[in-house]
Structures are given as C-alpha cells and as structure tokens.
Structure 1
Amino acid sequence: MNQYVTGAAVKRLREKQKLTQSQLADFLGVSDRTVSKWETGRGFPDITFLEALAKILKVSVVELFSGAEIENGNRSANLSKSNFYICPVCGNSVFSVGKACVSCCGIQLSPLEVENEPVENHRIDVQKDGGEIFVRMNHEMTKSHYISWFACVRLDSVEFAKMYPEQNAETRFRNAGKCRIYAHCIKHGLFEVNF
C-alpha cells in the first residue's frame, strides 16, 4: 500500500513550524511515539487527523498529501494573465486570475484559448463613445449560435456583460484606458481584441 502522507513531509512541515514531536502530538491528542512512527514511515496518520494535522502544519490537505508546498506564483500578477473556463455541460462561465484547477458538473475544465483566426462574423468592433466604449459584433444571435458574453479586462479590473439569444451582440463598458475585449461564441470559442 502506498503511503498517502509521507513521513518526510510531516517531519519537514513540523520542523518548519518549529514544533517538537511532543508538541505536535499534544495538539493532536496522540503520543509523541505516534508522531515518530508517522515520520519514520512505520505508521500513517489516521484519516480523521488529516484536516487538523494540515491546519497545525499551516498547509492545505492537498499539500499534505503531495508532500510539496504549493507556492502562490500569482502574487504579483495582474488581470492580463486571467483565464476563462466554460463548462460544456451546463455552460457555466468561470473567470480566474491566473492558473486554477476548475471543475464543473464533474468535469475538470481547461482554460479557453483565444482563436487566432477569427471566423466570419466573429470580428469584435470597439469604438469610443464619450466615457464609455461601445463593443459589438456582427454575429447571429439564435438559440443555437450566439455570443454568450463579452468581457473587458484591464490590469486592475474586469467587467462582464452577459448576452442572450435574440438580442443584439453589443454592449458598453466604461472607458478607463487600455484593455482587452473578449467575446465568447458558444460554437466557435473565445475571441479577443486589444483596445
């Protein structure tokens, strides 16, 4: 049987928190010999201890299982590194700032990739209109083929406009400098234009 939590990970994380085996054992209500067995691979923490053990060691249960600390590589990122995800079952749209593990309807979703070559009627037109920008597409809007949303992504903010079949494929966003405009077609995917 494979170990689901390695003793080396428990020891390394315990030492990082400057805890002795005895202190960790006291927090969990077990003996220090039990913690020693975990760390030397002669025993495993009972599954009922995992959440408390992770909390004491200041890691997630996922990190405890993997034995590797997950470092947030997105701390200084901005919204230009955002991703969009669409569930193929229910059509749910998910937006994330940076990489994410996203699932919906039991399916792990992959981030959408922008279509490099816009197909006919998928060109995004953007015009300044006072304090706003006017976004439109010459795209059919039927129940079987329509633009489901537009998004305006700036370095520090994002705006969404949900679209519905049988309305015009157009919207307005506030004009606040440079941005990327995205449009999602339910048949052909994600399109973008810099503005």
Structure 2
Amino acid sequence: MDQYVTGSIIKRLRESRKMTQLQLAEALNVSDKTISKWENGRGYPDIALLEPLAKTLRLSVSELLAGESISNTNRCFNMKKIKFYVCPICGNVIITTGRAAISCCGIMLPDLEPETADSTHTVHVEQVEDEYYVAIDHEMGKKHYISFVVAVKEDGYDLKKFYPEGAAEARFKRSNVRNLYYYCNQHGLFQIPLGSVKSR
C-alpha cells in the first residue's frame, strides 16, 4: 500500500473517541502493550486488523488510512468545490463535490490540482448551435494521451472518456456549463473557463 496508518494517527483517533489504550486493545483482542508499541512507532497493526480497528474507531478503512473522519458539514453539494481523483493503476476516474478520502486499488488517491493549459496541451472550443465542440490538440498514443474531458455545470457535470489511438474530441450541451477540465495521463489535470468562447 502507498499509505499506511501510523501510530500518531491511531493515538489521535483513539483519544478523539475518549478511549484508553486498554479499551482499544480489548476491542481488538490484542494487549495494551501492542497498542502502546503502535502509538510509539515501534510497530504497525497487521493488515488483518485494519477493518476491526476502523470499525472500533467508527471510521471507514479509507478514513483510517487518511487519518481523519470525513464529515459532511455542508448538506448540499457545491460544484465550485469539485475535486478529481485518478487511479494510476486502473485509470478509474472519481469526482467529488468536496473533500473526501478516496482509495482505489489499495492506495489513497490525492485530489488533482488543475493547471492552466500550456502550448503542449492546447484545447479548441467552439459554440455550435446549442453545443460546445471540444477538440484537444494532443498526441493520443498508447503511452501518452488525454484520458477524459469534463464539462462542469452549475448543477452537475458531463464526462467524456477518451482512449489511446482515438480522437480527443467531444460535444457538450452548452446549458449552464462554466468550466472545462481535461486530463493528460502524464502531465495531469488542466482547466479552462468557458465564458469567453465565441459562437460559430
């Protein structure tokens, strides 16, 4: 695994639940000395104990590995807080509308920071009637390609997946689209606003 639970995380989460080392040890069928060793960095819990440990601390395994409880303080989603996660192993694309602890293929995924497009990741966007036509000027080989493009609206998003040796072109309904994001499998996430696109 790329990230594993540390002793300091276990201690902080245990104390936040107002549990003693002995109480946690009894819940996991280990000794309080074992808990002490974990918390002092002299050992790690066995992978078989991750699920019972997370359950005892009232967390998911993903939250345990992230080191915090993810709570929903804002009951409605906000598209301005959109986050993108891409698994480097299977290529899975996960989109959230706020902070989250996301794991895939056994690793924790960082949220991607979008960059402004550069000369090697040029995108052409045109308004054609009620749609945006998007074409990304980029190689589409098996090792270097654009993986997906997403049109983010006020109330949701529309994702188009691309594949190596295919065309990096897509059409999106223009209604309420605010931003466009696209992902290069070698250079990361890029973003452009769509407010200045001219119609044809």
Give the Å deviation of 1:147. Answer: 0.6
Give the Å deviation of 1:172. Answer: 0.5
Give the Å deviation of 1:76. Answer: 3.8
Residue 153 (structure 1) aligns with: 152
Q: Is the 8 A contact 1:82 1:98 kept in 2?
A: yes
Runs of 5+ consecutive residues of structure 1 not aligned to the other structure: 11-37
* Shift in alpha-carbon separation, 1:191–1:9, aligned structure 2, 3 A: closer
Q: What does residue range 1-150 of structure 1 map to in structure 2 within 5 Å?
A: 5=14, 9=17, 44=23, 46-47=26-27, 61-62=58-59, 71-116=71-116, 118-150=117-149
Which aligned runs of 4 or more in structure 1 are off by greater than 3 angstroms? 2-6, 68-71
Give the Å deviation of 1:47. Answer: 2.8
* Shift in alpha-carbon separation, 1:193–1:70, aligned structure 2, 3 A: closer
Give the Å deviation of 1:75. Answer: 2.3
Larger radius of gyration: 1
Runs of 5+ consecutive residues of structure 2 not aligned to the other structure: 1-9, 29-50, 195-200
Residue 38 (structure 2) aligns with: none
- State the AA in 1 paired with 2:192: V
Q: Is the 8 A contact 1:82 1:97 kept in 2?
A: yes
| TM-score between the two structures when normalised by the length of structure 2 | 0.64
- State the AA in 2 paired with 1:138: D
For 2:85 and 2:148, the matched residues in 1 are separated by 12
Deviations 1:10-67 (A, max 9, x none): 6xxxxxxxxxxxxxxxxxxxxxxxxxxx7xx59627538xx9xxx9xxxx8129x99x
Give the Å deviation of 1:188. Answer: 1.1
- State the AA in 2 paired with 1:111: D
Q: Is the 8 A contact 2:151 2:177 kept in 1?
A: no
Percent sequence identity over aligned pairs: 36
SS of the aligned residue for 1:153 comes to strand
- State the AA in 2 paired with 1:113: E
Q: Is the 8 A contact 2:85 2:95 kept in 1?
A: yes
SS of the aligned residue for 2:189 comes to strand
SS of the aligned residue for 2:73 comes to coil
For 2:161 and 2:69, the matched residues in 1 are separated by 38
RMSD, aligned CA: 3.4
Q: Is the 8 A contact 2:154 2:176 kept in 1?
A: no
Q: Is the 8 A contact 2:78 2:97 kept in 1?
A: yes
**How many residues are paired up?**
156
Deviations 1:109-161 (A, max 9, x none): 11011123x33331222111112111111111111111100101112111100
